[in-house]
Chain A
């Protein structure tokens, strides 16, 4: 009988919660999120870092979770698609943009787009159409032909802008 694989105690910080898991060193972060943490919203499309479906935010940066080991994510704050919704449970501007513009069909690649765009709009809240394309140029989708995903990015930026304006005008009015 071969020797059982050594397991490591790993504490993952995901979407503001702590998950204590025991995994072998080779366990991919994507698999740990899906199968150990039960967060199956992150999807695995190629396992070689090309399709982008498994993209999560690691300390705010989009990362292919299939190219990272769970054990190396110990000290990081991870955000998956499940963590994108607003605190009240409503859709985030990016999620809402996709809903408004029919930016998804089968939904499999969608989580990777949502996380990527969330980071993209944080860094560039008012992208041009070309910049919107650039923002999603590393993610594969086989259903939509990307037309409505580009629109979704622009719509998300618009929603984000509206939300900030509403917030600003409220603050300016000194009503709080």
Chain B
């Protein structure tokens, strides 16, 4: 191996096509096919209503309209509710919507009718002509209304409670009762959403010649979509191919599936015999995809004079929206990942997952962790404030120590497995963070700024992130006779640079040139066994599987080459695609090894002549041995017993304007430990993006529902996604690499990390600047201003 690529800042191979406008996203596909049809969806304008009648008679009069579907046109499995993807036993009252609403609607945006036409403009014209009679019902909006349960979302779900779950390690309530000090906190986090630049989209083409359906979808799981499409349309799995082309960002929302349109588009394509496309617009993305984050928390904590947590009892209420297709993953993650790098002696957590008449809730980058981190870090800060201790000291007192790994929390994680941390060095991370942000020098800075009439504050927040959850991913590595290496893994890509990072692994493991490796992701034709891209799992899962598959290909290459070179396998090395006997001139190209691996009857070029039966093999033996197969390939799967646990700590210095309460970021520091880094450039890019999303979530973004369940800010005009002007001008990053012992590459995963501690770290810094508790996020300048007034009044009154 000449240069090791693992760990190098290798430029991305993806960029060439993206920079030239040659990416192929789902809405770009089949655009030159004159038979392509387009679709639009009639969506409920009401948050809660019964559907009394749907009249589509005016629709077919619209020139260019081809077909329209309502619930009554669906049959068989298509007429059943959409799948409940993760049927956790605790989800006693799980409900999912229909592909097209049956009898009732439960959020503004729920799909009611599906129109197919010659273009999107005409399809939207037609949608506007559908007449629906509704009987409006009172909606349940927000956690307070859901808890109060004066009204219910679903008649057969009492008190709006979809699930109630409780876990305990030790006896938290007894420990709190016996603790020297106790505190109680009430916390609140509002809704936000992934908001990728590209919305959802699906294209389908039915090929009558082969009776085969091809679906392209902007999804985080091709195999998941394939399974659903086959089941719902009554097709054999072998008749359905799902391909994920370039995807313009996911951040979690595209892991949910099947969306109604992911089934209706293939249904229409089969029914009409023409390709059909659905491309979501921005308003649709706000009201008919998914949100996350909204939770309310009640925390009781007991601790000693050092700030050591003796007992922690958390109850929280999770808003899961109108339906539960993705089960309880988000609140379960909150309830377990809340623990962060700490080891409370006794911990109890109980939550209720509640129905509201709002858009469904499925994982958004961080997936429940930002809320958990907010709860735990607010608690740590409260303890420090109560005891008058430095906030980093209280954290240090509670850290799991480096010699305590693997650390068992005595709880069950989101994958149904024990919550056991694999590795980390939290004291070392904290030391790095303090240095990076200038923690110990901050009081001087505060005084200096105060002298100028300026108000500043510093905060920190620590998290641990379970990454790389199972069940598995696989990879197939094929060395072609040209020496080029084609690799397929089944999970999908949404901008993470998998084609680069995975090629780095293959180049190193197999000993080939990076340029000769081509990675395909998310194509069920090439790798039908896969799970998907979520939970920061791609590098851990597919990275490991690709490494293992490349090792298998290498083993075979060495075996064949040893025979050809009449040398021992132990004396061989593979460098830049050439197998050679160390210390000699004897060598053979990997492409030639590939030729030899596949005994041929027919020669089609010079290379293949070398592989005909007249040229290779022992005439006394079968051309392909009994325990072998033709071709230079390797295939393997990686299925770990449990998750890896990455961790990190963020610190921020903010300035709050004494007059306007505007919040300005002066410094942002990140210490990040995701084990070994495959490509530090890509990892830092992931952190940058996560931090920016975190800034949005902490200071700007919220879903402004009114009491009638209308989303008032369903556009980029009103939903304040950060521009460059809102993000920190620099993000200082330091890495710690504590490798995971669970996988061959020692990697942990980095996709979500940057966003997890944001709400916590900004709350801490604003609290530090202002001198009163911050208990609800996000926070706007006007809210901060109101808090100032309230505290000033309290002070006067007191």
Complex interface residues of chain B between 680 and 723 (CB less than 8 A to chain A) = 681-682, 684-685, 687-693, 715-717, 721, 723
Nearest CB to that of A36 among chain B residues?
B31
CB contacts (< 8 Å) of B730 on chain A: these are 147
- In the bound complex, do residue A24 and residue B121 qualify as a contact, i.e. CB atoms below 8 Å apart? yes
Kindly provide the distance from the CB of A47 to the nearest chain B CB, expressed in whole angstroms.
Answer: 6
Q: State the CA gap A26–B746 with chains docked (Å).
A: 55
CB contacts (< 8 Å) of A142 on chain B: these are 194-197, 249, 251, 689, 693, 721
Interface core residue of A34, A84, A105, A109 (most chain B CB under 10 Å): A105
Digit string of B169-186 for contact with A (CB within 8 Å is 1, else 0)? 000000000000000000
- In the bound complex, do residue B689 and residue A51 qualify as a contact, i.e. CB atoms below 8 Å apart? no
Whether A50 touches B717, Cβ cut-off 8 Å, given contacts A91-B19, A108-B197, is yes
Nearest CB to that of A91 among chain B residues?
B19
Does A29 count as interface, using CB distance less than 8 angstroms? Answer: no
- In the bound complex, do residue B198 and residue A43 qualify as a contact, i.e. CB atoms below 8 Å apart? yes
- In the bound complex, do residue A46 and residue B248 qualify as a contact, i.e. CB atoms below 8 Å apart? no
Other-chain contact of A114, B19, B25, B690 (Cβ < 8 Å)? B19
CB contacts (< 8 Å) of B14 on chain A: these are 107
Nearest CB to that of A53 among chain B residues?
B197
Whether A95 touches B20, Cβ cut-off 8 Å, given contacts A43-B248, A102-B681, is yes
- In the bound complex, do residue A108 and residue B248 qualify as a contact, i.e. CB atoms below 8 Å apart? yes
- In the bound complex, do residue B716 and residue A140 qualify as a contact, i.e. CB atoms below 8 Å apart? yes
Does B282 count as interface, using CB distance less than 8 angstroms? Answer: yes
Q: State the CA gap A141–B20 with chains docked (Å).
A: 18
- In the bound complex, do residue A5 and residue B63 qualify as a contact, i.e. CB atoms below 8 Å apart? yes
Does B28 count as interface, using CB distance less than 8 angstroms? Answer: yes
CB contacts (< 8 Å) of A61 on chain B: these are none
CB contacts (< 8 Å) of B28 on chain A: these are 34, 40
Whether A145 touches B20, Cβ cut-off 8 Å, given contacts A43-B197, A45-B197, A47-B281, is no
Q: State the CA gap A105–B738 with chains docked (Å).
A: 26
Q: State the CA gap A45–B285 with chains docked (Å).
A: 11
Q: State the CA gap A42–B688 with chains docked (Å).
A: 25
Q: Which of B42-50, B96-104, B489-497, B610-618 contacts A (4 or more CB under 8 A)?
A: B489-497
Digit string of B731-752 for contact with A (CB within 8 Å is 1, else 0)? 1000000000000000000000
Nearest CB to that of A100 among chain B residues?
B11
Kindly provide the distance from the CB of A23 to the nearest chain B CB, expressed in whole angstroms.
Answer: 10
Complex interface residues of chain A between 28 and 65 (CB less than 8 A to chain B) = 31, 34-35, 38-48, 50-51, 53
- In the bound complex, do residue A81 and residue B721 qualify as a contact, i.e. CB atoms below 8 Å apart? no
Does A170 count as interface, using CB distance less than 8 angstroms? Answer: no
Count of interface residues, chain A, beta-carbon cutoff 8 Å: 62
CB contacts (< 8 Å) of B494 on chain A: these are 106
Other-chain contact of B20, A35, A43, A50, A82 (Cβ < 8 Å)? A82
Other-chain contact of A2, B17, B61, B721 (Cβ < 8 Å)? B61
Other-chain contact of A80, B18, B21, B247, B497 (Cβ < 8 Å)? B21
Whether A133 touches B246, Cβ cut-off 8 Å, given contacts A81-B21, A110-B19, A143-B689, is no
Nearest CB to that of B121 among chain A residues?
A26
Q: State the CA gap A107–B14 with chains docked (Å).
A: 9
Other-chain contact of B19, A39, A99, A106, A149 (Cβ < 8 Å)? A99
Does A16 count as interface, using CB distance less than 8 angstroms? Answer: no
Nearest CB to that of B715 among chain A residues?
A48
Kindly provide the distance from the CB of A7 to the nearest chain B CB, expressed in whole angstroms.
Answer: 12
Nearest CB to that of B60 among chain A residues?
A1
Q: State the CA gap A107–B197 with chains docked (Å).
A: 9
- In the bound complex, do residue B196 and residue A106 qualify as a contact, i.e. CB atoms below 8 Å apart? yes
Interface core residue of B15, B251, B731 (most chain A CB under 10 Å): B15
Does A136 count as interface, using CB distance less than 8 angstroms? Answer: yes
Q: State the CA gap A45–B494 with chains docked (Å).
A: 15
- In the bound complex, do residue A48 and residue B716 qualify as a contact, i.e. CB atoms below 8 Å apart? yes
Other-chain contact of A38, B31, B62, B729 (Cβ < 8 Å)? B31
Digit string of A1-23 for contact with B (CB within 8 Å is 1, else 0)? 11111000000000000000000
Other-chain contact of B282, A34, A46, A144, A148 (Cβ < 8 Å)? A46
Kindly provide the distance from the CB of A29 to the nearest chain B CB, expressed in whole angstroms.
Answer: 14
CB contacts (< 8 Å) of B15 on chain A: these are 98-99, 104, 107
CB contacts (< 8 Å) of B282 on chain A: these are 45-48, 51
CB contacts (< 8 Å) of A51 on chain B: these are 197, 282, 716
- In the bound complex, do residue A50 and residue B19 qualify as a contact, i.e. CB atoms below 8 Å apart? no
Kindly provide the distance from the CB of B12 to the nearest chain A CB, expressed in whole angstroms.
Answer: 7
Q: State the CA gap A122–B24 with chains docked (Å).
A: 29
Kindly provide the distance from the CB of B468 to the nearest chain A CB, expressed in whole angstroms.
Answer: 20
Whether A108 touches B724, Cβ cut-off 8 Å, given contacts A81-B21, A144-B689, A145-B731, is no
Q: State the CA gap A108–B198 with chains docked (Å).
A: 7
Kindly provide the distance from the CB of A2 to the nearest chain B CB, expressed in whole angstroms.
Answer: 5
Does B57 count as interface, using CB distance less than 8 angstroms? Answer: no
Q: State the CA gap A1–B62 with chains docked (Å).
A: 6
Does A150 count as interface, using CB distance less than 8 angstroms? Answer: yes
Does A111 count as interface, using CB distance less than 8 angstroms? Answer: yes
- In the bound complex, do residue B717 and residue A140 qualify as a contact, i.e. CB atoms below 8 Å apart? no
Complex interface residues of chain A between 59 and 96 (CB less than 8 A to chain B) = 80-82, 84-85, 91, 95
Nearest CB to that of A15 among chain B residues?
B21
Digit string of B664-690 for contact with A (CB within 8 Å is 1, else 0)? 000000000000000001101101111
Does B271 count as interface, using CB distance less than 8 angstroms? Answer: no
Complex interface residues of chain A between 109 and 136 (CB less than 8 A to chain B) = 109-111, 114, 129, 133, 136
Does B211 count as interface, using CB distance less than 8 angstroms? Answer: no
Kindly provide the distance from the CB of A159 to the nearest chain B CB, expressed in whole angstroms.
Answer: 13
Other-chain contact of A137, B31, B196, B247, B725 (Cβ < 8 Å)? B725
Q: State the CA gap A105–B688 with chains docked (Å).
A: 11
CB contacts (< 8 Å) of A3 on chain B: these are 63
Nearest CB to that of B493 among chain A residues?
A106
Which residues of B does A touch, CB under 8 Å? 11-12, 14-25, 27-28, 31-32, 61-64, 119-122, 194-198, 246-249, 251, 281-282, 494-497, 681-682, 684-685, 687-693, 715-717, 721, 723-725, 727, 729-731, 754
Kindly list 4 other residue pairs between chains A and B, CB separation below 8 angstroms, not including A4-B63, A5-B64, A34-B27. Answer: A85-B20, A99-B16, A99-B19, A143-B689
10 contacts between A and B (CB under 8 A): A2-B61, A47-B281, A48-B715, A81-B21, A102-B681, A106-B246, A111-B21, A137-B724, A142-B693, A145-B692
Closest 5 A/B residue pairs (Cβ): A41-B21, A106-B495, A108-B248, A107-B18, A145-B692
